[in-house]
Amino acid sequence: MFNEENQVKKYLLKWYSKNARILPWRNKYRNNLPNPYFVFVSEYMLQQTTVNTVKNKFQNFVIKWPNLDKLAQINEPQILKFWSGLGYYSRARNLLKSAKIINKKFNNKIPCSYDELIDLPGVGNYTANAILGIAFNKSVMPLDANIERILVRLHAIDKPIIKVKKDLRYLADKFKSKNFSSDLIQSFMDYGSEICLPRNPKCENCSINKFCQSYKKNLQYKIPNKSKNKILKTIKYTRAYVIVNENNEILVRNRPSKGMLASMLEVPNDNWVKNKNLLSTDQIVKKLKTNLKLKGSFEYSFSHFDLETEIFYGNIKKAQLSNANWIKISTYNKSGLPTVMKKIVEIAV
Ligand code: SF4
């Protein structure tokens, strides 16, 4: 198998030299490797968000904050406002915390050791290895969904991925490269998103099909085995209230400084509960003198649960809440509301 692994590496590198995706964080910087700061930012953005969504956002991010020193000087509300549209705001907070640590401790240089990287907020085993491999050409093999899929197919492992994580770690280590780690890792990633696709792998055009046990046994559509991969998410319930004054402004406030969407702007909404019968009307809304109209409902998916929201609309005079915060309806999209709140407003107005 040793020889086969070397062959697979050779074929993937060759394929990558002609077919690599053009991604803004890959521009070569020094030693023919990408800019470590770009890789660092992109790895935070790519956690739970697709490459296509990240592309434009990333471009604007590095135009605004082109290096780590610049990023380390900003404050949390600035990065949270920018992050709108990407979701999972804890990543933005962690990215900024990490930038400030690197600024102080490492003189603005992204660390190139596993131990230093793994200590940074929001950096787990995968992210640390991805940065080491892609930005510094270290001989590692991070395991993302694309690489896992290629490995279980190459070896025709017909068990849910979640159950064979240890085996995959062992198999992935066999594909580490001493000299071409950065390109090889990215070639695996690109191959998984262009050729060894989740649903319809392009086996006939695959340059490594002669090494693929799933292809030989015609199992490529059954592997990865999905049977027990699905994690059923909890559903939580809330009611949200879009309250508008005579100046076409929407009532907003800041969320608590801890927990989901901490410190972000929101429209008033009830505490999120798992049992719909336990919903209790928000304190501010209770006191308002307005007729609330149900405008619709929708479900928003967070990483660990889905949030089912009924959306109500009401009008009040601004004087009813003289000390409250308001944002213009015409500019709510640029106001720093997180995506879930923007969708609520969008349905209501
Ligand atoms: S032959 Fe098909 S299943 Fe196997 S690695 Fe190639 S594309 Fe993937």
Per residue of the chain (349 residues), give pLDDT as tens: 558 899 999 999 999 999 999 999 999 888 899 999 999 999 999 988 889 889 989 999 999 999 999 999 999 999 999 998 887 888 999 999 999 999 999 999 999 999 999 999 999 999 999 999 999 999 999 999 999 999 999 999 999 998 899 999 999 999 999 999 999 999 999 999 999 999 899 999 999 999 999 999 999 999 999 875 556 688 999 999 999 999 999 999 999 988 889 989 999 999 999 999 999 999 999 999 889 998 888 888 888 899 999 999 999 999 999 889 999 998 888 888 998 999 899 888 8
The domain containing residue 62 runs over which residues?
2-216
Q: What is the pTM of this model?
A: 0.70
Task: Confirm or reject: Cβ of 192 under 6 Å from ligand 1.
Answer: no
Tokens coding 77: 């509300």
Give the model's pLDDT for residue 231: 60
Q: Does 34 share its domain with 91?
A: yes
Establish if 245 belongs to a structural domain.
yes
Q: Which residues are catalytic?
A: 43
Establish if 222 belongs to a structural domain.
no
Domain count, the chain: 2
Distance of CA 197 from the midpoint of ligand 1 (Å): 8
Task: Confirm or reject: Cβ of 206 under 6 Å from ligand 1.
Answer: yes
Q: How far apart are CA 264 and CA 251, in angstroms?
A: 14
Nearest-CA residue for atom 4 of ligand 1? 212
Q: Does 204 share its domain with 240?
A: no
Q: Does 189 share its domain with 282?
A: no
Q: Does 299 share its domain with 178?
A: no
Q: Does 41 share its domain with 185?
A: yes
- b/e map of 45-74 (b: 16 or more CB within 10 Å)? bbbebebeebbebbeebbeebeebeebbee
Taking only the tens place, the pLDDT of each residue in 249-281 is 999 999 998 888 998 999 999 999 999 999 999
- b/e map of 224-234 (b: 16 or more CB within 10 Å)? bbeeeeeeeee
Task: Confirm or reject: Cβ of 201 under 6 Å from ligand 1.
Answer: yes
Which residue matches tokens 């990023």?
A: 71
Nearest-CA residue for atom 8 of ligand 1? 196
Establish if 225 belongs to a structural domain.
no
End position of a domain, from candidates 161, 188, 216: 216
Give the model's pLDDT for residue 28: 84
Task: Confirm or reject: Cβ of 146 under 6 Å from ligand 1.
Answer: no
End position of a domain, from candidates 150, 181, 216: 216
Is 35 within 8 Å of 108 (Cβ atoms)?
no
Q: Does 59 share its domain with 201?
A: yes
Establish if 224 belongs to a structural domain.
no
Establish if 328 belongs to a structural domain.
yes
Is 228 within 8 Å of 299 (Cβ atoms)?
no
Biggest alpha carbon–alpha carbon distance for the chain: 77
Q: Does 110 share its domain with 68?
A: yes
Is 141 within 8 Å of 199 (Cβ atoms)?
no
Give the domain CATH number at 291.
3.90.79.10
Q: How far apart are CA 201 and CA 194, in angstroms?
A: 9
Q: Does 154 share its domain with 205?
A: yes
Among 148, 175, 195, 225, say which to mutate for ligand 1: greatest number of ligand atoms within 8 Å of CB. 195
Q: Is 172 helix (H, G, I), strand (E, B) or coil?
A: helix
Task: Confirm or reject: Cβ of 143 under 6 Å from ligand 1.
Answer: no
Q: Does 40 share its domain with 176?
A: yes
Q: Does 257 share its domain with 112?
A: no
Q: Does 135 share its domain with 184?
A: yes
Q: Does 99 share its domain with 240?
A: no
Task: Confirm or reject: Cβ of 215 under 6 Å from ligand 1.
Answer: yes
Among 148, 171, 203, say which to mutate for ligand 1: greatest number of ligand atoms within 8 Å of CB. 203
Give the domain CATH number at 177.
1.10.340.30
Distance of CA 141 from the midpoint of ligand 1 (Å): 19
Establish if 24 belongs to a structural domain.
yes
Q: How far apart are CA 319 and CA 330, in angstroms?
A: 21
Establish if 221 belongs to a structural domain.
no
Distance of CA 193 from the midpoint of ligand 1 (Å): 12
End position of a domain, from candidates 216, 243, 263: 216
Establish if 16 belongs to a structural domain.
yes
